[in-house]
Structure 1
Amino acid sequence: MTCYAIGLLHDVEMGPGILAYLEGIDATLAPFGGRYRIHGGVPEMLEGACDRDLIVIAFPDRAAARAWYGSAAYQALLPHRLRHARGAVFLIDGVAEGHRATDILRRGG
């Protein structure tokens, strides 16, 4: 099942550190089948407010997503982002084709 690496970043300091991160991250994704689905952009807010940059990267499964995050190539880049941006990053599985809202009632959450 597709797994998504989600980043909700704020206070991004554009400069050499973030530039190095951006220039290097694409090469770290390819070996694990990672591909961008959302990378920032201006949301059209329908409810509430959002002051974060949203990044969504899809991987074939959670094992691939974990392997990417733990890879030597990504770990070498990670300090650039950690020093120059704040926020949350997490993995979450997608849903199967045909998923319905009430399906969560059967899995207890």
Structure 2
Amino acid sequence: MPAYAMAHLRPTEMPNDEVLEYIERIQATMDPFGGRFLVHGSEVEAVEGTFEGAFVMIEFPDRDAIHAWYASEAYQEILPLRARNIPGDVWIAEGVPEGYDARRTAAKLRAARG
């Protein structure tokens, strides 16, 4: 089942050379693990609440692929280039299976309440 690495990166000054190098090199670290950007550099529109900064979403074939990518020597080599310059939060979440229907989830939650 696909899994997603997501980041909320806080606003900073214009990208410095380290950040630009990180952006230039990240795709090559993701390729061996089947990673692809779904959201990167797009404007975020907050329809509820507020949002400042950037949102990034990367799809991988599964959770194991994300963990292998994140722990890889290639990614760990470039990670400090971003982490030193752009504060943020990073999450991992699995997607839903084909044919997912939220009504079934609601029914399970109702049944669990008793």
Q: Measure, in 2, the Cα distance between the counterparts of 1:103 and 1:12.
A: 42
The alpha carbon displacement at 1:103 in A equals 3.9
The alpha carbon displacement at 1:10 in A equals 0.7
- For the pair shown, the structure with the greater C-alpha radius of gyration is 2
Q: Measure, in 2, the Cα distance between the counterparts of 1:12 and 1:100.
A: 39
Matching of residues 27-38 of structure 1 within 5 Å: 27-38=28-39
Matching of residues 1-109 of structure 1 within 5 Å: 1-13=1-13, 14-105=15-106, 106=108
Q: Measure, in 2, the Cα distance between the counterparts of 1:94 and 1:72.
A: 26
TM (normalized to structure 2)? 0.86
List runs of 5+ in structure 1 lacking aligned partners: none
Q: How many residues align?
A: 108
Comparing 4-13 with 56-65, which one deviates more in the overlay?
A: 4-13
CA, structure 1 residues 103+65, in 2 after alignment: closer, same or farther (shift >3 Å)? farther
List runs of 5+ in structure 2 lacking aligned partners: none
Where 1:8 maps in the other structure, the secondary structure is: strand
Where 1:43 maps in the other structure, the secondary structure is: coil
CA, structure 1 residues 88+98, in 2 after alignment: closer, same or farther (shift >3 Å)? same
| Percent pairwise identity | 42
Q: Deviations over 1:2-35 (max 9, x none)?
A: 0000011013341011011011101001000000
The alpha carbon displacement at 1:44 in A equals 3.0
The alpha carbon displacement at 1:43 in A equals 2.4
The alpha carbon displacement at 1:66 in A equals 0.4
